[in-house]
Amino acid sequence: MNEWDKKAFEDAYSQVKAPETLKADTLSKMLEENNKEKPARQVKNIFRYGAWAAALCAAALCFILLRPSGISFITPMEDDVYYDEVELKDGVIHFVKNRVAISISPNAGTVTIGQENQQETDENKDETSKTAEEKITESGGSISFRETDALTLPEIAEENWSYIGEQKIYVTVLKANEVRYQAVFEKDKTAYEMIGINVSQKEFIEELYLRVKE
Amino acid sequence: MNAPEKKYHVEFDKTIERYSDMIYRIAITITGNEEDAKDAFQETFLRLVRSRNKIVSEEHLKAWLIRVVTNCAKTVASSPWNRKTQGLSGEESTREAVCRTGENSLLLELQSLPEKYSVVLYLYYYEGYSVKEIGSLLGKNENSIKTLLSRGRSLLRKELEGGESHE
């Protein structure tokens, strides 16, 4: 840059300054304009964000209503555990993140736990069971859960065992007039049995998950 | 005045104080006329009120102001009203207006140059922008800016040495 040119420009322009009256007048006009702009901006924002919100709601509604049956629906299970809707595929229930893998053996027959047998009376059952809880599910079926000291787990090939985390469980389903799910497992030297009658797979597995984790 | 209004008052006042002289200088360089320069000056700041949410930094603000005042001043200078009235008041009013800001032959000659040269010369020599920066400010490539600078400089030299008019 030519130093002479630069200095000449500095000398010339340093004399040119915006008049104070112009600055004051401009400031008041800016404030006026800002007051005019505010309501217009608010209306514009309402339309802009309103449109986005409406579009998102419509998309969510479409997804819920038109969701093809094959698409998984994520259900919160525990604070950090989420899994796909329980779905039986070749006897295996698939969960996301491989946190839970359950293999259900259809019509494999029930497993007898403890000393009880088929002829056992209800009173005797109560004696062998330390606790027996029963609850009615949303679908109208019932789930019962009980624990016992004695345990005779069946001889089952490894691939037929199911796992919730590290917990080994045996799950069967008997599809007759009533659909009967049974899960047995041993935890801290105690055997547990959970039976679901006419419940959905989702209800049964959710309950089982909670029982194993508790 | 409530709190938000006070906040805007302070914000606008600060912006005017910081950039008013630069905006006014560019406006008067392009329009060569005090009244038109004032119009361009005010229009620039009013546009700022409407577009301030899009401005992300101080550098961006300065560049935005330069671009907008250049456009506003060109619009004002080329308005039909100006073209009609120039014949009546003409060269004299321009010179009178400039004289009010101080007698200065460089400024007078700079104002008589076409705006495309004067703005580039002003941004380069007074504001200290590089050729590349001026290019991005005015939306032109570097070579065009170099050419404008070179031609503007030689025209200005001729004018200052009492050479022939570029017109």
- pLDDT of the residue at A102: 54
pLDDT reported for residue B41: 93
3-state secondary structure of B101: coil
**Above 0.90 for ipTM, yes or no?**
no
**What average pLDDT values come out for chain B (167 residues) when binned by 10 residues?**
78 91 90 87 91 84 89 82 52 46 68 85 88 86 90 85 53
Query: Residues with Cβ < 8 Å from B66, sequence gap 6 or more?
Result: B22, B26, B123, B127, B137
Top residue of B36, B98, B107, B153 to mutate, by most chain A CBs within 10 Å, is B107
* Amino acid type, A169: I
Residues 6+ apart with CB under 8 A from A128: A114, A115, A116, A120, A148, A150
- What's residue A2's pLDDT? 61
pLDDT on residue A127: 45
**Cα-to-chain-centroid distance, residue A100:** 13
The contact set of A with B (CB < 8 A) is 1, 5-6, 8-13, 15-19, 22-23, 25-27, 29-31, 33-34, 37
- The Cα of B6 is separated from the nearest Cα of chain A by a number of Å equal to 10
pLDDT computed for residue B82 by the predictor: 62
**Which one of A13, A26, A34 has the shortest CB-CB distance to B41?**
A26
Task: Give me the domains of chain B, ranges plus CATH numbers.
Answer: 10-103 (1.10.1740), 114-162 (1.10.10)
Choosing among A10, A29, A30, A33, which should be mutated to test the B contact, i.e. which has the most B CBs within 10 A?
A30
Q: What is the pLDDT of residues A172-183, one digit of tens each?
A: 777 677 778 888
Neighbours of B70 (CB within 10 A): 24
Element (H, E) at A142: strand A142-148
Tell me the angle at which helices B105-112 and B3-31 cross, rounded to the nearest 10 degrees.
80
CB-based contacts of B53-62 (< 8 A; 24+ apart in sequence): B61/B15, B61/B19, B62/B19, B62/B22
Residue-wise pLDDT tens for chain A (214 aa)?
A: 466 677 888 888 888 888 999 999 999 999 888 887 777 777 777 777 888 888 888 888 877 666 554 444 434 333 434 444 444 444 444 443 333 445 555 555 555 544 333 344 444 444 444 567 888 888 888 999 988 766 666 666 666 667 776 777 777 777 677 778 888 888 887 888 889 898 877 788 778 878 877 7
In Å, how far is B167's CA from the nearest CA of chain A? 22
Pick the residue from chain B with its C-alpha nearest to A4. Answer: B125
Chain-chain contact of A13 with B124 (C-beta, under 8 angstroms): no
Q: Cα separations (Å) of A209 from A8, A45, A101, B164? A: 84, 47, 11, 95
Sequence-separated contacts (24+) of B133-140 with Cβ below 8 Å: B136/B63, B137/B63, B137/B66, B137/B67, B138/B67, B138/B70, B139/B67
| Closest partner CB to B126 (pick from A9, A19, A31) | A9
Give the residue among A97, A105, A109 at the shortest CA–CA distance from A158: A105
